[in-house]
Amino acid sequence: METVIRIEDLWKWYGTREALKGIDLQVPGGQFISILGPNGAGKTTLIKCITGLARCQMGAINIYGLDLRKNLREIKGRMGIVHQENNLDVYLNVMENLYMYGYMLDIDKNKLERKIPETLHFMGIKESLWFEKVENLSGGTKRKLMIARALLNDPEILIMDEPTTGLDPSIRRLLWDRIISLKEKKITLILTTHYMEEAHYISDRVVIMHSGRIIEDGKPDELIERYLPPFAVELSPPVEFNQEYKSIRSGDTIIIYTQKPEMITSRIEGRGLRKVSVRKTNLEDVFLLLTGNRL
């Protein structure tokens, strides 16, 4: 697949603090990638640089072969952006928000009149809410509207910064399915998220950031297989085991990774543990191993 986003040796400072430290990243067209990292890892700064909201001191961002600094207006016309914070106009209704945004993007009026209801139906926003003021909408409907707004210009690249944070699980799952269905349109997606399940469910590829650097990059299942055996045993309070087992301490729990969980559980009987659970290893385990943090 053709590379549509190419980032080379990107550095960003805020005063004396290094927010990005030599980021290199290539994104092929049509690929869905998630960027993971603890708070302060540089995820949002990277998104701001890609969308032109922040300027980096060193390095280059090329999108569709165009230098972002020199061609920002043209490139942003091919993007849809869902910001982390709600930036809808709360005093306008749903339709007014979309019309106003469409006019700002200079979308043809006839196209806009067709595209707005089409996009609202796609995002599952009921017609009974189309003339409701945004301030009266639920959190889930506001997020749906922000995604609908980002899709108005038929973007080739969709940038989403933590789009489902704070939503209840049912709404989050609905949005995941809507996002995945965009693959049919060959959209390229860059997503930041605090939800490991979300990254695994949506993404073709996961990029893990830590302290302003990319420390790992790959397909979710391949990353799990690369770093960990298939099973995790969680014990609380922590119990010391030989170093033959890869393990992580998280709060008052120790997570031990193993090919054979019965070899662990058979050795802990009678130790008065409050919690003993066995599960399959997942993307969060890889994240913990590499960063030492829970999102």
DSSP-assigned states of every residue in 71-107: SHHHHHTTEEEE-SS--S-TTSBHHHHHHHHHHHTT-
Q: What is the pLDDT of residues 263-290, one digit of tens each?
A: 888 888 766 788 899 999 999 999 999 9
Number of domains in the chain: 2
7 with 107, same domain? yes
pLDDT in tens, 105-149: 999 999 999 999 999 999 999 999 999 999 999 999 999 999 999
Residues 63, 134 share a domain: yes
For the record, the structure tokens of 276 come out as 């003993």
55, 137: one domain: yes
CATH code for the domain of 178: 3.40.50.300
Question: Residue 295 pLDDT > 60, yes or no?
Answer: no
Alpha helices by DSSP H, listed for the chain, are: 43-50, 72-76, 94-104, 109-122, 139-150, 169-181, 196-202, 220-227, 262-265, 283-291
Portion of the chain with pLDDT greater than 70, in percent: 98
CATH (domain of 261): 3.30.70
Measured CA to CA, the distance from residue 120 to residue 178 in angstroms comes to 12
- C-alpha 156/C-alpha 101 separation (Å) is 17
Residue 111, number of CB atoms within 10 A of its CB:
13
Q: Which long-range contacts (CB under 8 A, 24 or more apart) does 70-73 make?
A: none
Q: Write down the pLDDT at residue 273.
A: 87
Shared-domain flag, residues 63 and 104: yes
Cα(260)–Cα(255) distance, rounded to whole angstroms? 14
Let me know whether 135 and 209 are in one domain: yes
pLDDT tens string 204-257? 999 999 999 999 999 999 999 999 999 999 999 888 776 678 899 888 899 999
| Tokens read off for 150 | 């980002």
* Res 242: pLDDT: 66
**Contacts with 290 (C-beta within 8 Å, 6 or more apart), sequence order:** 208, 210, 215, 216, 227
Pairwise CA distance, residues 169 & 293, whole Å: 23
Decide the pairing of beta strands 58-63 and 66-67. Answer: antiparallel
Distance in angstroms (rounded) separating the CA atoms of residues 17 and 89: 33
Which amino acid would we find at residue 80? G
**Per-residue tokens: 195:** 């939800």
Of the listed ranges 30-34, 70-74, 75-79, 168-172, the least confidently predicted one is: 168-172
Asked whether residue 215 falls in the same domain as residue 256, the answer is no
* 200 closest CA partner among 167, 226, 222, 233: 222
Instruction: Write the DSSP assignment of 139-150 as a string of letters.
Output: HHHHHHHHHHHH
Collapsing DSSP states into helix, strand and coil, what is residue 3? strand
Q: Does 240 lie in the same domain as 97? A: no
- Asked if residue 132 and residue 75 are part of one domain, the reply reads yes
Query: Confidence class of residue 294 from pLDDT cuts 50, 70 and 90?
Result: low
Are residues 192 and 107 part of one domain?
yes
Q: Which domain holds residue 238?
A: 228-291
Higher-pLDDT residue of 10, 40:
10
